[in-house]
Amino acid sequence: MFNHNRVRDHIPEIVKLRPAKLKDLHRIEYIMHEAGKLHPETYRHPVLFINTLDAILYHLAFVAVDKKDRTIAFVLFDNLPERKMANYIPKNSLKLANTAVSPQYQGKHLEYRLACYGLTHCKYVNTSDYAWCVIHPDNIASIKSLTAAGFCLVYKNVDYGYGIRNLYVQKLR
Ligand SMILES: CC(C)(COP(=O)(O)OP(=O)(O)OC[C@H]1O[C@@H](n2cnc3c(N)ncnc32)[C@H](O)[C@@H]1OP(=O)(O)O)[C@@H](O)C(=O)NCCC(=O)NCCS
């Protein structure tokens, strides 16, 4: 279950969370490139553009925006088949597929906030019983944010195709 009780930093009022719109697509893609310096192998893949579009159209994409409604962070979910992970993930599960925060807005727990916000919304538009995600073992910020948002480590060192990742799962209903 979500850990909504964890106390987090005050988020400046200018930052709002909302479901993503088509107009956010290019900013989401830009933030992937901007924030993706640490894991370049994960980003700049054309399939990501299609997956982002898909997530927006299926109401599985969520953004944080500044006071000018400019996207500064995002989280994307999907239900796409994952043959490589089929032996590890629970049946009927939703993937937290991608998330990043624009570098100048990092340090405000926006990944945690967006993950909680997105998971709460997904429960209404999606019938999945579980949510899952993979995190690079060195990505301390994501490990902290997504475990605080309710994900639990279930497998270490899974070959995810883009490299070794740890698998996290949480029950939604
Ligand atoms: C991962 C990412 C989304 C997190 O951004 P964020 O929400 O601003 O995260 P924060 O900077 O607020 O950090 C969250 C926690 O991790 C800690 N943290 C951040 N970087 C850290 C580091 N290098 N070492 C140790 N702890 C770190 C913070 O202190 C904070 O801890 P707290 O909960 O105890 O206060 C952002 O760094 C990013 O966009 N990275 C590139 C893309 C990426 O890795 N996406 C995730 C793929 S799973």
pLDDT tens sequence across 99-147: 999 999 999 999 999 999 999 999 888 889 999 999 999 999 999 999 9
- pLDDT given at position 48: 79
pLDDT in tens, 34-72: 887 545 555 556 777 888 999 999 999 999 999 899 999
| Cβ atoms 95, 160 nearer than 8 A | no
- pLDDT given at position 137: 95
Span of 2-11, 109-118, 130-139, 156-165 with lowest mean pLDDT: 2-11
128 lines ligand 1 (CB under 6 A): no
Question: Order of strands, edge to edge, in the sheet holding 71-78?
Answer: 16-19, 61-65, 71-78, 93-101, 130-135, 164-171, 152-159
Q: How many CB atoms lie within 10 A of CB 136?
A: 18
145 lines ligand 1 (CB under 6 A): yes
* pLDDT tier at 1, thresholds 50, 70, 90: very low
- pLDDT given at position 151: 98
Q: Which atom of ligand 1 is nearest to the CA of 114?
A: 7
User: Which one is the CATH code of 16-171: 1.10.357.10, 2.40.50.100, 3.40.630.30, 3.40.630.10?
Assistant: 3.40.630.30
Q: Where are the domains of the chain?
A: 16-171
Output the residue whose Cα is nearest ligand 1's atom 21.
141
At residue 127, φ and ψ (nearest 5 deg) are: -100, 15
102 lines ligand 1 (CB under 6 A): no
- Entry pTM: 0.90
Beta strands 93-101 and 71-78 are antiparallel
Q: How many CB atoms lie within 10 A of CB 91?
A: 8
Q: Which two tokens stand for residue 167?
A: 């698998």
* pLDDT mean over 63-82: 93
107 lines ligand 1 (CB under 6 A): yes
Q: For ligand 1, pick from 28, 43, 106, 146 the residue to mutate: most ligand atoms within 8 Å of CB.
A: 106
- In the three-class reduction of DSSP (H, G, I as helix; E, B as strand; rest coil), residue 15 is classed as coil
Output the residue whose Cα is nearest ligand 1's atom 10.
107
